């Protein structure tokens, strides 16, 4: 009975999606975006939309991201820490991390700093830096990396980045600030925020697993 | 034609993901089904920005070539990040529920919470 209902609901969902799907045969004209990109000092149309025309959306999105990370912290913290080191130190990975990590970090900063000129931006830069931290955690052991990163201070850096983003957005709104420098600052701050967020997810899911 | 194929794949992924979300019993599988559905929605939206023979929406290409639509890509950038954050949060809640109730099955979790409510 339940399965039939579920299949019926799925069929209904597909039926709802079909009319929109059939209208895809004729694609609408692309709205002119080059003027918008020039106004906001970007060469990348997507960056001009994300950090210019839809800036409030992006700011609130960063807020939602930070709020979800706070939720992950406070949900997983009461669960006990895993007794033995969750990710132990490994020699081979350590050697490879020595070679790969500088490239990963430089590439991530490059993506964040040139996101308004080409493909890139703060979010992918943060994700790349976060996976660099994952590599480092596998090489060093996650508890040692957490101590070396000073996790308490990282939290202040995260909230500081959000506060700076909001202040910059408000300043842009009040005084009409625009230009490439502002976009670079936005991208770097978003990159910092996303890096710390991915590190929080990585660390808390690895260390606080609870006991079943 | 490419748009139709990619959009059809996106819709198929959404239906598949919702199917897993409804039919699976374990919370982790449900959340992974939601993940697949979200990937399908993202694929559908990205496929909308395709234009035949189009170039990426960057200034610097020679004029006269059609460009892809930057708007769906910008929308999807938001969706991907929010998806990551909410998936992490819901997985954290699933871990916490499994710790308290010693089960991941949705029906047993419902029974346990109903007993709690009656008390």
Where do the structural domains in chain A lie, given as residue ranges? 55-70+88-207
Domain coverage including residue B63: 2-118
Task: Name residues whose C-beta falls within 8 Å of residue B79's C-beta, 6 or more positions apart in sequence.
Answer: B38, B41, B42, B45
Q: Number of Cβ pairs closer than 8 Å across A and B?
A: 125
Query: How far is the CA of B76 from the CAs of A130, B43, B81, in angstroms?
Result: 20, 9, 9
Residue carrying the six token digits 């699976």: B24
Interface of B with A (CB under 8 A): 3-4, 7-8, 11, 14-15, 18-19, 22-23, 48, 50-51, 56-60, 66-71, 73-74, 77-78, 80-82, 84-86, 88-89, 91-93, 95-96, 98-99, 102
Confidence band of A211 (pLDDT split at 50, 70, 90): low
Contact A210 B96 (CB under 8 A): yes
Q: What is the pLDDT of residue A84?
A: 65
Contacts of A4 in chain B (CB under 8 A): none
Contacts of B13 in chain A (CB under 8 A): none
Does the pTM surpass 0.90? The reply is no
Contacts of B14 in chain A (CB under 8 A): 13, 17
Asked whether the predicted pLDDT for residue B33 surpasses 90, the reply is yes
Asked whether the predicted pLDDT for residue A212 surpasses 60, the reply is no
Higher pLDDT residue, A50 or A210?
Answer: A50
Count of domains for chain B: 1
Q: Say how many Å lie between the first and final Cα of chain B, rounded.
A: 59
3-state class (DSSP) for residue A208 = coil
* Rounded Cα distance, A159 and B4, in Å: 43
H-helix or E-strand spanning residue B16? helix B2-23
The interface predicted TM-score (ipTM) is 0.86
3-state helix, strand, coil in chain B (%, to 5): 75, 5, 20
* Contact by Cβ (8 Å): A117, A43: yes
CATH of the domain at B15: 1.10.287.3510
Residue carrying the six token digits 């299949």: A7
* Rounded Cα distance, A158 and A143, in Å: 20
């Amino acid at each position: 009975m339940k399965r039939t209902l579920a299949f019926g609901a799925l069929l209904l969902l597909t039926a709802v999606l079909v009319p929109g799907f059939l209208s895809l045969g004729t694609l609408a004209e692309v709205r002119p975006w080059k003027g918008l990109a020039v106004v906001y000092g970007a060469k990348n149309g997507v960056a001009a939309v994300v950090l210019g025309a839809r800036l409030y959306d992006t700011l609130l999105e960063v807020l939602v991201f930070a709020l979800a990370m706070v939720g992950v912290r406070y949900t997983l913290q009461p669960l006990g820490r895993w007794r033995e080191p969750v990710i132990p130190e490994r020699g081979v990975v350590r050697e490879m991390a020595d070679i790969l990590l500088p490239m990963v970090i430089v590439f991530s900063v490059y993506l964040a700093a040139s996101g308004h000129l080409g493909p890139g931006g703060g979010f992918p830069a943060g994700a790349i830096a976060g996976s660099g931290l994952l590599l480092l955690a596998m090489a060093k052991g996650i508890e040692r990396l957490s101590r070396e990163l000073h996790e308490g201070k990282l939290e202040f850096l995260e909230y500081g980045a959000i506060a700076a983003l909001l202040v910059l957005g408000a300043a842009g709104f009040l005084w009409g600030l625009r230009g490439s420098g502002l976009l670079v600052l936005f991208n770097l701050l978003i990159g910092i925020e996303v890096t710390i967020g991915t590190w929080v997810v990585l660390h808390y899911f690895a260390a606080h697993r609870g006991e079943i | 034609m490419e748009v139709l194929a990619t959009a059809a794949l996106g819709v198929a992924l959404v239906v598949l993901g919702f199917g897993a979300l409804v039919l699976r019993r374990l919370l982790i599988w449900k959340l992974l089904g939601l993940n697949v559905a979200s990937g399908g929605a993202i694929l559908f939206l990205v496929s909308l920005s395709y234009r035949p023979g189009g170039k990426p929406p960057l200034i610097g290409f020679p004029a006269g070539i059609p460009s892809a639509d930057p708007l769906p890509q910008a929308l999807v950038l938001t969706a991907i990040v929010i998806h990551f954050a909410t998936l992490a949060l819901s997985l954290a809640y699933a871990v916490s529920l499994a710790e308290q109730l010693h089960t991941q099955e949705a029906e047993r979790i419902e029974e346990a919470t109903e007993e709690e409510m009656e008390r």
